[in-house]
Structure 1
């Protein structure tokens, strides 16, 4: 406790380590800190709030079970988003009545076909792109995840990853070049 009687503010990494030790209060604190923005970001991608609520809950159940898997690379928030997004994609694979919305069209109206980005997002765990993403260095992969897959600005990604905005831009540029090379010529992309 701090001098004013308020509980000491703990870093997300500390809380996650506490969750790995079975501390339910630490899990509750992570939920309080992160569930609202996870819900908001997922709602920008899905037209069914019930699915989004389930995905957020599934995310924190996964955190409870798998907190020890966090490797400390990047921010806890980015790790949580990765879990949430994979849960969303998994949930939507079996549901034809739920639509993964483009970031810019949250209404679900207009009859537009999915944006290329959204088709990539749905297939990101499979095929050539998934393999190419896995072969990126962790620093490059985190930047691609934050900016391309999660839709953060370079400034937001820098804050999330704890690096300068210029570093995010440089890493993103290099990652795109590696991905482009790997997808056009798998042998050339990693030289």
Structure 2
């Protein structure tokens, strides 16, 4: 298998059960997927599990790719959905504990980690943690990542109207809790 093989061709080979093509696909996309998921979740154990589940989904479902967008975007939508599912099973306190442990393990945390730690300790953090994973994912994509409604819809694999509705519900819930 050649490293220059395109993603569409690789997915076709993966759908046919080609392990070498799957390895090339994983080497090509595994690192960036892991890094991008770590921006959304400070727990490396959860991220590692999500990455494994995502690529297992690719192995099992490569034939379902509809060729209607970027392969990396398709992979990201799978990973983002898996992360939302994983976050449903882990409480806010567990995530905060992992974040703090991660912060303490370094001499100097990054600016983003400092901001996240401050947010986690404030009233906003509690309000955000009480949002459902679906609402929190929309807030993360639109506010933190700065994505448009259309980009968020593509990222999360939901219609743009659903993004708008969830965004409104999240703002309403946050407003109620913070006033």
TM-score range, shorter chain: 0.5 to 0.7
CA distance in 1, matches of 2:48, 2:85: 14
**TM-score, with length taken from structure 2:** 0.61
Match of 2:152 in 1: 144
Equivalent residues in 2 for 1:60-79 (5 A)?
Answer: 60-79=55-74
Name the counterpart of 1:85: 80
Structure 2 unmatched ranges of 5 or more: 100-110, 139-147, 170-179
Kindly report which structure 2 residues correspond to 1:42-61, keeping only aligned pairs within 5 A, or say none. Answer: 42-61=37-56
1:40 is the counterpart of 2:51:
no
- Asked if 2 retains the 8 angstrom alpha-carbon contact of 1:74 and 1:142, the reply is no
Mapped partners of 1:24, 1:76: distance in 2: 18
Q: Relative to 1, partners in 2 of residues 1:24 and 1:45: Cα closer, same or farther, differing over 3 Å?
A: same
Number of aligned residues: 136
SS at match of 1:17: helix
The normalised TM-score by structure 1 is 0.57
Distance 2:90 2:7 in 1: 33
CA contact (8 A) 2:149 2:164 kept: no
State the Cα RMSD in Å. Answer: 3.8
More helix by proportion, 1 or 2?
Answer: 2
